[in-house]
A and B are shown apart, each in its own frame.
Chain A
Amino acid sequence: SAVISQKPSRDICQRGTSLTIQCQVDSQVTMMFWYRQQPGQSLTLIATANQGSEATYESGFVIDKFPISRPNLTFSTLTVSNMSPEDSSIYLCSSLKGPTEAFFGQGTRLTVV
């Protein structure tokens, strides 16, 4: 059925703290993707997470700031570390079914104060 459950749906965090976002897929998937959507902007890919290997980060994103875990084929987490107001965004996880049709979680709306 290809459903991703993402949580939390929203959070307000203090600067300097970290937030971990979780995504659970209802079936096994090879690749999971993490995107960021800054206010008024489109989606930008942060990294690709494959099970059993380290995540692959896109230009401008680093592991120290956005550590990712992928412990099995149905689950992944993204941590936003040492947050600043500039990290206020919607964060979305995604995967593929079919195998080229993308589907997304419900998004996490993060506000850093």
Chain B
Amino acid sequence: KQEVTQIPAALSVPEGENLVLNCSFTDSAIYNLQWFRQDPGKGLTSLLLIQSSQREQTSGRLNASLDKSSGRSTLYIAASQPGDSATYLCAVLPSSNTGKLIFGQGTTLQVKP
């Protein structure tokens, strides 16, 4: 059974710092991995999607990597800003590709001015 774990559960950093959020999964048979942002009480906004054949994706200050063989993904945020404060969720789509995502517990990030 696929399990997704995110470490740390919470993170507080000063503005301007570069940071890394971690996501691990137990079964390497994935179709893709997606990183989301969630503001309190709100829905999910997709940040980056990495297909199983890809190693990384970049969007602005965000860079996501994928090491499928070791079951790990990282989300790198450069030059963090207070507006980056949110919960970040990673989710895997198993290779069966039924559309059903399996989510990690999330990392709640606070960027202090």
Q: Chain A: residues with CB nearer than 8 A to chain B?
A: 6, 10, 31, 33, 41-43, 45, 48, 90, 92, 94, 96, 98, 100-107, 109
Contacts and interface: CB of A to CB of B under 8 A. Distances in A.
A95 to B, nearest CB: 8
Contacts of A48: 98-100
A45 B100 contact: yes
Contact of B99 (A31, A107, A109): A31
Contact of A42 (B31, B89, B97): B89
Interface of B: 31-32, 34, 36, 41-46, 49, 51, 89, 91, 93, 97-101, 103-106
Nearest 8 CB-CB pairs, A to B?
Answer: A107-B43, A104-B44, A106-B43, A42-B103, A43-B103, A104-B43, A42-B105, A109-B41
A11 B97 CA distance: 34
Contact of B105 (A6, A41, A90, A100): A41
A100 B101 contact: no
A92 B32 contact: no
A102 B91 contact: yes
Given A33-B99, A45-B100, A48-B99, 11 more contacts: A10-B41, A42-B105, A43-B89, A48-B100, A92-B43, A100-B99, A102-B46, A102-B93, A104-B36, A104-B44, A105-B43
A60 to B, nearest CB: 14
A65 B4 CA distance: 28
